Amino acid sequence: MTAGTVLSLHPAVDELDRLLTQAAEPSGPFAAASLIDLDRQEAFPADACRLLDDFGLHTYYVPAQYGGRLADFAESMRLTRAVAARDLTVAIAHGKTFLGAVSVWLGGRPQQAAWLGAEVCAGAVVSWGLTERHHGSDLFAGELAAVRTGSGWRLSGEKWLINNATRGDLVCVLARTSPTGGPRGFSMFLVDKRRLPADRYRHLDKVYTHGIRGADISGIAFDDAEIPATALVGGVGDGLAITLRALQLTRTACAALSLGAADQALRLAVDFVRGRRLAGRPLAELPPMRRLLGEAAATLLLAEATSLLASRSINALTAEMNVTAAITKAFVPSQVQEMLDTFAEIIGGSGFTAGQPIEEAFEKVHRDHPIVGIFDGSTLVSKNALINQFPRLARSYQDGSPLPWDEAGLREAATVDGHVTEFDPARLSLLSAQGCSVVQALPAAAARLSEQAGTGEVPVGLARMADQLRAAVVGLQRELAEYVPTARDVPAAAFELARRYELCFAGAACVHLWLHNATALRAAVPRDEPTAALWRDGLWLRAALARVLDQLGARRERADLAVHDRLAEQLLRHADDRRPFSLLPGPAAVSA
């Protein structure tokens, strides 16, 4: 057995995790009590961000070709998750720079991108100015305008509810460049605040929020601010196209925030049930509580599998990212939010948190997390984006059979330690030409799982579940084929179809991950590793598929539900471990 690439999948992630564990000691910048205190004061977590800078996390927001370390999106998402698992405010405050800069990576001139890359690697904070006070997420209604001048442009207007608008050194601003607006009526500008005269811009007041209270959520107003011609990103009129492509990356990346929140919540829940009692017994012993823990763990693994496949798809299935990103953004935060709400009744029900570290920490993450389902394309906006793809997705199946898909891309996306194709922004598109490989490949994957059940490699129950999923997909595709798109008034039924499509995608992602990794991982991970138990007998796959089938309304087998109890057992057994509960082996798995 070798300690090879499988075990130490992303050394940087392991290193960051170790660093954060250390920093969580009582006087460190990630100490729980101090983070809660900062939240109470609505103060920015500067020390924590500085620690991340010292680690060099900001260099992962810059592509390698522009001087940074961003190459493998799965790696960068795992880094974000590691931070979010400690504190969501910090993860969001620090990670915003990626969102601020990504428009330039996708649409900027090479010199512009290289320049920005150097600035970010030197510590510059970049913000993204998209939304405005009266228009919410309707970018077509944006009023902030850029007018051409002799030497460049003049900006007038406000962007509001912007993360790091005040802290940021630079801000990428979407501005109206044609009075009549429309798809070609907007352009993107990289504004260097440090070069602006002080009387030509001002910061808008901090907006006080329900959660992530210490974050800098504010705004910026430009009063005839002159910016050079070189501030333009891409061409005039490219603004919306750049934004939509950028959102394909950022919406996928948001999943990492949800995973981190789920990590926190699960850890807190385990601590809680071990320490409290009901009806004369430790909570952890009560069967429905175990079931609940197991279901939550299954939800986390389902969300992780979806996110993992989605993150690797950025490199491997780039052309399908408009579908993948919409699904990921709609699905993962919602699943995690439900898990948090379930725990909230148990941990936070009485509302009395004072002096109780578990209740206090949980209460914070419960307030923090909903922002992930709101910003960067809310859950409803993301579902609408998926619904807009229905006609094309409907055509990806004919008479119950899928059309050809990108098998090579899917194989790479699903193999956790596989080769990482260099990311090519030019392959991002606004329409997925071939549909959704993950879902199209599901019938074939279910058949392979059946074969494995036939040879005893996996339990028969697993093959049955995969087949139920396949039937669900075929049924869904049939309904998609009958769905008549409307330009306005999207019917409520379409949202239900979207919900089912997300679930089918997530379930299929699980099956693909299993097929491409089970053999290698089971061979490489030591038996007593917590991760090993998840892969043994397909435990994690069974639990994740049970969550999917349950939400699809499929008939439930008692044996499938009991799998959750085994997961709970694993959770409780390794509770003192403090390692994230994950499909991927953690740092301790690295042999000397």
Work out which of 374, 420, 520, 575 binds another protein, going by CB under 8 A.
374
Number of residues forming the site for another protein (CB under 8 A): 64
For residue 218, give Cα distances in angstroms to 74, 103, 106, 265, 378: 30, 21, 26, 28, 19
User: What amino acid occupies position 217?
Assistant: I
Where helices occur in 483-557 by DSSP H, the ranges are 492-524, 530-535, 539-551
Nearer to another protein, 63 or 370 (CB): 370
Would you give the binding string for another protein spanning residues 80-119, x where CB under 8 A is met?
----------------------------------------
User: How many Å apart are CA 551 and CA 501, to the nearest integer?
Assistant: 11
Its sign, for the CA torsion 282, 285, 286, 289, is: positive
Nearer to another protein, 113 or 273 (CB): 273
CB 321 within 8 A of CB 252: yes
Contact stretch for another protein (CB under 8 A) within 130-138, 143-151, 406-414, 430-438? 130-138
Smallest gap, in angstroms, from Cβ of residue 482 to another protein? 16
- Residues of span 559-578 touching another protein by CB under 8 A: 561
Would you give the binding string for another protein spanning residues 487-516, x where CB under 8 A is met?
-xxxxxxxxx--x-----------------
Q: How far apart are the first and last CA of the chain?
A: 12
User: How many Å apart are CA 563 and CA 568, to the nearest integer?
Assistant: 9
User: How many Å apart are CA 332 and CA 127, to the nearest integer?
Assistant: 24
Q: Which of 115, 63, 12 shows the shortest CA–CA distance to 423?
A: 63
Query: What DSSP element (H or E) covers 249?
Result: helix 239-275
CB 269 within 8 A of CB 262: no
Question: Considering the rule CB under 8 A, would residue 337 count as an interface residue with another protein?
Answer: yes
Nearer to another protein, 17 or 368 (CB): 368
Question: Considering the rule CB under 8 A, would residue 268 count as an interface residue with another protein?
Answer: no
Work out which of 11, 182, 391, 553 binds another protein, going by CB under 8 A.
553
Question: Considering the rule CB under 8 A, would residue 287 count as an interface residue with another protein?
Answer: yes
Question: Considering the rule CB under 8 A, would residue 346 count as an interface residue with another protein?
Answer: yes
- Residues of span 173-232 touching another protein by CB under 8 A: 207-211
Work out which of 110, 150, 179, 351 binds another protein, going by CB under 8 A.
351
Smallest gap, in angstroms, from Cβ of residue 134 to another protein? 9
Question: Considering the rule CB under 8 A, would residue 162 count as an interface residue with another protein?
Answer: no
Axis-axis angle for helices 239-275, 88-107 (nearest 10): 160
CB 533 within 8 A of CB 542: no
Smallest gap, in angstroms, from Cβ of residue 189 to another protein? 24
Smallest gap, in angstroms, from Cβ of residue 346 to another protein? 5
> Tokens 């950028």, residue?
246
- In degrees, to the nearest 5, what angle opens at C-alpha 332 toward C-alphas 331 and 333? 100
Phi, psi of 419 (to 5 degrees): -55, 145
Work out which of 1, 355, 456, 484 binds another protein, going by CB under 8 A.
355
Its sign, for the CA torsion 269, 335, 263, 97, is: negative
Question: Considering the rule CB under 8 A, would residue 137 count as an interface residue with another protein?
Answer: yes
Residue 327 CB burial class (10 angstroms; 0-12, 13-18, ≥19): buried
Q: What is the DSSP letter of 62?
A: S
Smallest gap, in angstroms, from Cβ of residue 545 to another protein? 17
Nearer to another protein, 17 or 359 (CB): 359
Question: Considering the rule CB under 8 A, would residue 251 count as an interface residue with another protein?
Answer: no
Question: Considering the rule CB under 8 A, would residue 272 count as an interface residue with another protein?
Answer: yes
Where does this chain bind another protein (CB under 8 A)?
136-138, 161, 207-211, 272, 276-281, 283, 285-289, 291, 337-338, 341, 344-356, 359, 363, 367, 370-371, 373-375, 378-380, 488-496, 499, 551, 553, 558, 561
